[in-house]
A and B are shown apart, each in its own frame.
Chain A
Amino acid sequence: MQSHVSLLRWRFTSIGAAFALMGVVIFVQLVRIQISPQAETFRKQSDLYAGVWKTISPARGQIYDRWGNLLAGNRTVYQIGVEMQAVEDPASIAFAMQVVLGEDYDKMFALASPEANPDLIYTVLADYVPAEKVLELQQFAEEMEGTFGENQPIRNLDGLMTTPHLQRSYPENDLASNVLGFVSREGRGYFGVEEKYNELLSGISKTVWMPTDPNQIEALPDIPPGASLILTIDREIQEMIENVLDEEVSFWGAESGTILVMDPKTGEILAMVVTGRINLNEYWKFGEQIGGKTPFNKAIGQDYEPGSVFKVLTMASALDAGAVKPETEFLDTGLIEVGGAQIRNWNWGAWGPQNMTGCLQHSLNVCLAWVGTELGSKQFYEYMRAFGFGHSTGIDLAGEVVGRLRLPGDSNWYAADLATNSFGQGLSVTPAQMLMAVSALANDGQMVVPHVLLGIVNNDHQYNPPPQIAGYPISGESAQAITQMLANSLESEASIALVDGYRLAGKTGTAEIPTPYGYTSNQTNASFVGWGPVDDPRFLVYIWLEKPTGSIWGSEVAAPIFSELVRRLVVLLNIPPDGVQLGLNP
């Protein structure tokens, strides 16, 4: 009995010792692995599968026109890649990518082959693939498996993965493309609103660690979407003007065309149209469609010598300074010499006695050069600076240039520049600068900053920034006076710029284009600036056709375009004829 108990105790002790030894061995092994030279390798391997750093980019804000029509939104596209561990048949994957997406077979095979990429876990085969193509790919995979069956050699697309994400989309294609700009595949905005408000639209991306261990999962941080923008652009007016401009540029054989329409009271740009627009959904064809040297938006990105449309500003300044009055008489002899330079009229003729309205009506260079000298260089350039020339307008679009305005005291300024600048020669401006300056004339002396942003929708609220006043370069009386003079001059000559039922003010411009040897070419820039109705201006239009070949004169090229635009604008803007307006608001 005693020996039996001893035997039992010995056995139990042995088993206990064996288990204890196993425990010690396991513990020693655990410690040994931790401090072994391979420990770092094991840690790296575990880190690979512990989770991923993921950058979460909020959806880019949308862009709407002033009536809430979508101009820029987002759509789902797919990244196609392969998970290397799951790939069984890289040849079939490469074949499918070639058939459905037109990719190069050899390249796809090399990318999808686990043997060729032993260290890779995942690799991208294609990105920005539209949903339709992904559907085709799925159908292709099903057909492939159905065709070969389970007992046949492996023919499947196992390992092929599709990852959805958002891409910028422009439902209106090329409409207002020069205003909108575009977004690259990296998510950065280029040109126009997309560049100017890139940070606002794109929101703030965050990079977060996403562990594969479900125990460590935390809720994703709250990443609000980018702000949406409402533009001042009216897509109906924009489209109408795009159609008109395309036709007119083609008809007159012009190199390019630019038209701006603005509310002179608020500075809201209703339409900004240039020729050479691109389909924003295929922005990478930018070079083919526009050409590398042409600015994306000539309305703000290209300066030129405006010519006679500039005379309205010279005359407004002189009226405001009291240098002349509308009835001031000037004897036009066809020639005036200022600073050693001889100035002649556009037709090299002498127009005899003229009042200031006549000088504008006949667009007399000699008269305006004289007005400039009456004003004096100091005052003239002070007014030009006040009108905003020589610096940017502050328009909320990327890519604005400031033009060129030489001032007394500059090394390259000469006394003759006062005379030539007075009728729009020897200086350069952008159409947007001209628009802003002339807004003072159409808005009782108050100059407004042109802008395209009407509202920002962010955090479930809409913020409408108020219009900005750029200054008061002239008085309200002077603005009224120049407006009446221009309206009278259009009516006196029965200009083709007029529209029945509406009293309009405006001025044509024909500017010679300088070459390195002076004004030696026969090419011109034809322009027109006009606004109306005179009693209560609702629109301000600026037109510029570059190098028209059908006619070189602004009065023949640009004036009828103004008339045509106004005929359609008054309908779209619900502006009744002056007579009806008086009846409606006695």
Chain B
Amino acid sequence: MKTIPQQLIHAYKYAPWRAQLQLIGVFSLIVVLVALIAGVYLNVTARTATIGREIQVMEEDILELQRDNADLENQLGLLTSIRTMERRAEELGFQSINPDEVLYVSVSGYAGRQAASLAPPPGPVTVPDSSLPPEYTQTLFDWLKGTTLQTIHDPSLDWITGWVVRPVEAKESGSHDGSP
């Protein structure tokens, strides 16, 4: 006949099979975790490798397209070279004009043939706007204060801190143009 304390000890003592099961459980957990980490690592690595390979292929494509563009421009140059154009013009029955055959007509506003313009001229030099949005610069306290004050729209509350708080946008635009 077991006493009550003995019964309690017996009830709460791990059976050997439970200790073994616990060991197996911990080991399995570790294995699963390692497998999980390995799986995630493999997945990320495989995706990185795939993307890296795609980058390689796209860079090759870019170079190929650049070469194709150069080839096409060169072919256009060959097809429109002056000797080719002269030959084609002659084949079409055109001939060189003599000065006394030219008829000059006055066209008001016509400035004559203009030299090639292959790209727009550079615009005025502007200082790039390097200021970051306020989300990147203001502190949490600034944001809370600004938001709160904007919400209640009550400038009289400025006396609480003694600071003059202006809307963020106004503050930013003020700093852009350098005004005090």
Which positions in A face B, CB cutoff 8 Å? 59, 62, 64-71, 73-76, 164-166, 169, 171-173, 175, 214-217, 219-220, 225, 228, 230, 235-236, 239, 454-455, 457, 460-464, 499-501, 567-568, 570-571, 574, 576-577, 580, 584-585
Contacts and interface: CB of A to CB of B under 8 A. Distances in A.
B74 A215 contact: no
Contacts of B167: none
Contacts of A71: 77
**Ordered nearest first, which 7 A-B pairs have the shortest CB separation?**
A70-B77, A68-B116, A171-B77, A214-B52, A217-B52, A214-B49, A576-B104
A580 B119 contact: no
Contact of B102 (A171, A225, A571): A571
A70 B56 contact: no
B99 A166 contact: no
B59 interface: yes
Given A68-B118, A225-B66, 16 more contacts: A59-B66, A69-B77, A69-B80, A71-B77, A172-B77, A173-B81, A214-B53, A214-B56, A217-B56, A219-B59, A239-B82, A457-B118, A461-B121, A567-B98, A567-B99, A584-B106
11 contacts: A66-B115, A74-B73, A214-B56, A220-B59, A236-B82, A462-B119, A462-B120, A463-B122, A571-B97, A571-B102, A584-B106
Given A59-B70, A463-B121, A570-B99, A67 B115 contact: yes
Contacts of B67: 76, 164-166
B41 to A, nearest CB: 11
A247 to B, nearest CB: 15
A169 to B, nearest CB: 5
B48 interface: yes
A461 B82 CA distance: 27
B21 interface: no
B38 to A, nearest CB: 16
B70 A74 contact: yes
B119 to A, nearest CB: 4
A76 B71 contact: yes
B101 to A, nearest CB: 9
Nearest to A216: B52
A209 to B, nearest CB: 14
A172 B81 contact: yes
Nearest to A67: B116
B157 interface: no
A230 B118 contact: yes
B156 interface: no
Contacts of A500: 100
A214 B77 contact: no
A478 to B, nearest CB: 30
A464 B118 contact: no
Contacts of A220: 59
Nearest to A211: B52
A122 B80 CA distance: 40
A460 B52 contact: no
B70 A73 contact: yes
Nearest to B106: A584
A500 B76 CA distance: 39
A574 B119 CA distance: 26
B56 A571 contact: no
Contacts of A576: 102, 104
B71 A69 contact: no
A75 B74 CA distance: 6
Contacts of A464: 121
A570 B104 CA distance: 12
B152 to A, nearest CB: 49
A228 B117 CA distance: 12
B118 A166 contact: no
B71 A462 contact: no
A408 B53 CA distance: 74
B119 A70 contact: no
A586 to B, nearest CB: 10
Contacts of A454: 115-116
B162 interface: no
B133 interface: no
A74 B45 contact: no
Contacts of B100: 500
B177 to A, nearest CB: 26
Given A175-B82, A217-B56, A455 B116 contact: yes
A584 B53 CA distance: 68
Contacts of A235: 82
Contact of A462 (B55, B74, B97, B117): B117
B82 A70 contact: no
B109 interface: no
Interface in B72-115: 73-74, 76-78, 80-83, 97-100, 102, 104, 106, 112-113, 115
B116 A215 contact: no
A461 B52 contact: no
A449 B123 CA distance: 27
Contact of A75 (B71, B113, B122): B71
A219 B52 CA distance: 9
